[in-house]
A and B are shown apart, each in its own frame.
Chain A
Amino acid sequence: MAVRISVKRFQLSISTSYQFLAPAAIIMAIALFFPLLYMVYGSFRAWDPSQTLSESEFIGFGNYTKLWFDATFWESVSVTLRFAISVVFFEMIIGVGLALMLDRNMRGMSFLRTLFILPMMIAPVVVGLMWRFVYHPTDGTFNRWLSTFGLDGVDWLGRHALLSVIVADIWQWTPFIFILALAALQSLPRSALEAARIDGASSWQLIVYIKLPLMMPVLIVTMLLRLIDAFKVLEVILVMTEGGPGLATEILALRISRTAQEFRELGEAAAMSNYLLLLLLFLTLGMLAFTRWQEARAEREGRRAEKEG
């Protein structure tokens, strides 16, 4: 009987499926979903690391309103958004641009791709360390170059801290976009490209009207992944500037870890984490909704063009 069923259509029985699934489900429930709920619960309490959560006092939305009226918190939100948006913007332009330029059959491409992965694989802590040295006011590489040309050194991690941090992130993550964009380009249908070329499309028209629209789904996923990851950046900034000078580079993730570890305000840090999650959720859903809307509009216009044509 069992054999006959499995011959008809091989599928795991329900109990076996659960056996396979159980370890992962249990671990994720204990160490991922339960902590998230615990955090939501803790964000309504005046919670200090020396107390257990049940000993702490319930203060309702106290932590949330305190943050809402805290100008320095909004400064951190603004730094986070400025960092994430500019990083994603420049990385998309440079990464996709390079992919379009270098999508050709040439020697050394696979070697270049190998070298390109290097910055992403190295520990963020080490990346921060390297760039801190490069930006060092007296011994750093950049200022040494400037001084050989007789120019004054630039205060990279002081007055231009946010810019310097953004440059370091662009160095580390542009290759990610480049590699995904290149993979998307190489999986485009050859027939569409050939047809356009026979019709006499210039290479610029080919890019704008054929390649980019066809790559769009992959590019949107890539952008979304990169945007999400941009909110996770912490170690690079921690090592380079420690959030300073002042609040210039104190992104939300860094502020959360500081509030928890230095100021020992766990409840406030939990409320801040929830704000960060909400912000991320809002951005992701917003982007998804926007792409849906665009797709729908393109489809409607396509249909209208068909009718009129």
Chain B
Amino acid sequence: MAERQHGDRQHPAFYALLVTLAFMSVGPVFLMFSNSFKIDIDIISGTSALFFIPTIQNYETALCDILWYEPDHLDFCSIRFGGAFINSIIIALISTALTLYIGCMAAYALVRFRFVGRDAVSLATLAVRMVPPAVLLVPVFGLWNNVFCIDKQTLVGAWVRDVFGGRGDVCLAGTHSGIILIYVAMNLPFVIWILQSFIVQVPRSLEEAARIDGAGPFQVFYRIVLPLIKPGLAAAAIFTFRIAWNEYLLASALADRDTKTVPILIVNNTSEFNIEWGMIMATGMLLALPPILFTLFASRQIITGMTAGAVKG
């Protein structure tokens, strides 16, 4: 490890290559970052990426519905991205927590269970991983709108309609929980797959010792196994959060006016002919912010998670 940090002396050409690659991978992100602080006229007239008068106007426009003050440049708050950010945060956080909780229990059972072959399971997860979200679009749209409903005539349905208003039966479509359910299901195979490769490395003797000391299976799981697979949990959490936070297609099929997430609004606002570049890039920057933070502070966990699937499994 120490050796690696010092590094050998290399030909300068390699450093040139490194710098070029770094520049290429960050370039477009930096471009968006700098454009998000420009007014639209500066973006279109092609002011240089570094020398301009920065402004946070675009961010104010995008978030005007949750700001505590009224920005000077706005007469009317027409673009309501703030609410979408709150939706995105709720959906991403809850679905990540649920996926991890359910996934780590399942992974534990699969590793420590004698009947199911590990090969069969990793093949099954690979098979489910093959399914593109676009394939789920049609059935999820149909089921969530028509089948996964509570009749408004029944006790619970009538209660929900009395309390929350609206017409028709109470369906999963258009609710936060509807979107969360499909995200949890979509991410479970991947999370189980990753966590398995970590649980396998937990020495059985530790669990046996705890069992002899009188701990039940759930206690062993929470007190012994979970603390030992923290790196795996972190990696799985980042990947699940990333998908739930970034996903567009299924959310766009399921969300209604009040449950729209940020990617939906970005797509809706780029399909017009005249794009308000500044505002849309500010929104994009805000959407990209959590993944960027993860990358900067947890790159080791991300690499572990990426390689755990292919290199080890």
Known: A130-B31, A276-B134. A139 touches B44 (CB 8 A): yes
A235 close to B267 (CB less than 8 A):
yes
Tally of contact residues, A, Cβ under 8 A? 103
- Judged by a CB distance under 8 angstroms, whether A266 is at the interface is yes
- Judged by a CB distance under 8 angstroms, whether A6 is at the interface is yes
Residues of B close to A257: CB separation below 8 A:
134, 137, 249, 253
Residues of B close to A179: CB separation below 8 A:
303, 306-307
- 0/1 per residue, A241-254, Cβ < 8 Å to B? 01000000000111
Known: A134-B31, A281-B130. A39 touches B139 (CB 8 A): yes
A101 close to B17 (CB less than 8 A):
yes
- 0/1 per residue, B134-165, Cβ < 8 Å to A? 11111111110111000000000000000000
- Judged by a CB distance under 8 angstroms, whether B50 is at the interface is no
Q: Which of B4, B46, B130, B138 is most buried by chain A, counting CB atoms within 10 A of its CB?
A: B138
B: contact size bracket? 35 or more
B295 close to A12 (CB less than 8 A):
no
- Judged by a CB distance under 8 angstroms, whether B245 is at the interface is yes
B310 close to A132 (CB less than 8 A):
no
Residues of A close to B133: CB separation below 8 A:
232, 234, 253
Known: A113-B303, A225-B309, A273-B135. A238 touches B267 (CB 8 A): yes
- Judged by a CB distance under 8 angstroms, whether A10 is at the interface is yes
Residues of B close to A239: CB separation below 8 A:
266-267, 270
- Judged by a CB distance under 8 angstroms, whether B72 is at the interface is no
Interface residue ranges of B108-146 to A (CB < 8 Å): 108-110, 112-114, 128-143, 145-146
Residue of A nearest to B292 (CB): A118
Q: Which of A21, A36, A104 is most buried by chain B, counting CB atoms within 10 A of its CB?
A: A21
B299 close to A7 (CB less than 8 A):
no
- Closest Cβ–Cβ distance, residue B128 to chain A (whole Å): 7
- Judged by a CB distance under 8 angstroms, whether B68 is at the interface is no
A131 to B270, CA, bound (A): 12
A112 close to B263 (CB less than 8 A):
no
A47 to B139, CA, bound (A): 11
Q: Contact check: which of A35, A125, A284 meets B267 at CB < 8 Å?
A: A125
Known: A20-B109, A27-B181, A123-B263. A253 touches B192 (CB 8 A): no
Q: Contact check: which of B22, B103, B245, B249 meets A234 at CB < 8 Å?
A: B249
Segment with Cβ contacts to A, from B59-67, B77-85, B229-237, B276-284: B276-284
- Judged by a CB distance under 8 angstroms, whether A196 is at the interface is no
Known: A30-B185, A114-B296. A12 touches B249 (CB 8 A): no
- Judged by a CB distance under 8 angstroms, whether B97 is at the interface is no
Residues of A close to B3: CB separation below 8 A:
105
- Judged by a CB distance under 8 angstroms, whether A198 is at the interface is no
B135 close to A256 (CB less than 8 A):
yes
Residues of A close to B140: CB separation below 8 A:
31, 35
A238 to B134, CA, bound (A): 13
A257 to B249, CA, bound (A): 8
- Judged by a CB distance under 8 angstroms, whether B223 is at the interface is no
A32 to B130, CA, bound (A): 12
Interface residue ranges of B234-253 to A (CB < 8 Å): 242, 245-246, 248-249, 252-253
Q: Contact check: which of B135, B246, B310 meets A225 at CB < 8 Å?
A: B310
Contacts beyond the supplied A52-B147, A114-B295, A218-B310: 20 A-B pairs with Cβ under 8 Å = A3-B211, A21-B106, A24-B102, A25-B106, A32-B185, A35-B136, A112-B22, A122-B29, A123-B291, A130-B284, A133-B32, A171-B24, A175-B25, A180-B306, A234-B249, A256-B137, A266-B141, A266-B142, A273-B138, A276-B132
8 nearest A-B residue pairs (beta carbon)? A31-B185, A24-B106, A253-B134, A20-B109, A35-B139, A123-B246, A121-B291, A39-B139
What is the interface of chain B, defined by CB distance below 8 A to chain A?
Answer: 3-4, 6-8, 10, 14-15, 17-18, 21-22, 24-26, 28-29, 31-32, 35, 43-44, 46, 102-103, 105-106, 108-110, 112-114, 128-143, 145-147, 181-182, 184-186, 188-189, 192, 204, 207-208, 211-212, 217, 221, 242, 245-246, 248-249, 252-253, 263, 266-267, 270-271, 277, 280-281, 284, 287-288, 291-292, 294-296, 299, 302-303, 306-307, 309-311
